[in-house]
């Protein structure tokens, strides 16, 4: 391989560089979406609280300890967010059936309803943006995101 060939990026390198740039844009857009979604759930809700709430909505229940590990957040941050979510009627806490020292966290019906509304509106926006893609193309994109999440 000549020096000029080494200096020129391969098609794969160029594609990866473009892919990384697009990921950066998606991450920036995701941060804005989380902020907007959090405010639509409750004007005082922080992004961290929104992420916890959406996770709990999907998971069904969790403990503060599990949330701290999953989101790699300090327990004090989790604790503050849980208190705020409870205060706004978005989260319920009850003693764990197996270990009364632990608290099990679940979303309230109010939270489920508002999250469903926010997600539904976002789904309509997303459908409008990627409406020209086939189901197979969407599945391929999902596969790429899943592989990145597992990396």
135: tokens are 């189901």
What pLDDT shows up at residue 1?
Answer: 55
Q: How far is CA 106 from the centre of its chain?
A: 17
How large a percentage of the chain has pLDDT more than 70? 94
Q: Are 71 and 62 in contact (CB under 8 A)?
A: no
Tokens 């941060």 found at: 31
pLDDT at 115 over 60: yes
Cα–Cα distance between 50 and 56 in angstroms, integer? 10
Residues 23, 24, 25, 29: what is their CA dihedral angle, to the nearest 10 degrees? 100
Cα–Cα distance between 3 and 59 in angstroms, integer? 54
Cα–Cα distance between 114 and 109 in angstroms, integer? 9
Query: Which tens digits make up the pLDDT trace of 23-71?
Result: 999 999 999 999 999 999 999 999 999 999 999 999 999 999 999 999 9
What pLDDT shows up at residue 55?
Answer: 96
pLDDT at 15 over 70: yes
Domains defined for the chain, CATH in brackets: 30-150 (1.10.10.10)
Q: Are 41 and 115 in contact (CB under 8 A)?
A: yes
Cα–Cα distance between 51 and 33 in angstroms, integer? 11
Number of Cβ atoms within 10 Å of the Cβ of 91: 22
Q: Give the pTM.
A: 0.77
User: Among 4-8, 23-27, 102-106, 143-147, which stretch is predicted with the lowest mean pLDDT?
Assistant: 4-8
């Amino acid at each position: 391989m000549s020096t000029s060939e080494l200096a020129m990026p391969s098609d794969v390198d160029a594609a990866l560089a473009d892919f990384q740039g697009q990921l950066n844009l998606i991450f920036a857009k995701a941060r804005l979406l989380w902020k907007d979604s959090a405010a639509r759930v409750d004007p005082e809700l922080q992004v961290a609280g929104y992420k916890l709430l959406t996770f709990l909505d999907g998971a069904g229940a969790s403990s503060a300890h599990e949330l701290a590990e999953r989101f790699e957040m300090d327990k004090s941050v989790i604790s503050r967010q849980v208190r705020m979510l409870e205060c706004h009627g978005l989260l319920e806490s009850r003693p764990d059936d197996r270990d009364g020292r632990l608290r099990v966290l679940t979303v309230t019906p109010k939270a489920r309803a508002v999250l469903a509304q926010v997600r539904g509106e976002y789904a309509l926006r997303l459908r409008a943006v990627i409406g020209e893609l086939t189901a197979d193309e969407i599945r391929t994109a999902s596969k790429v995101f899943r592989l990145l999440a597992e990396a």
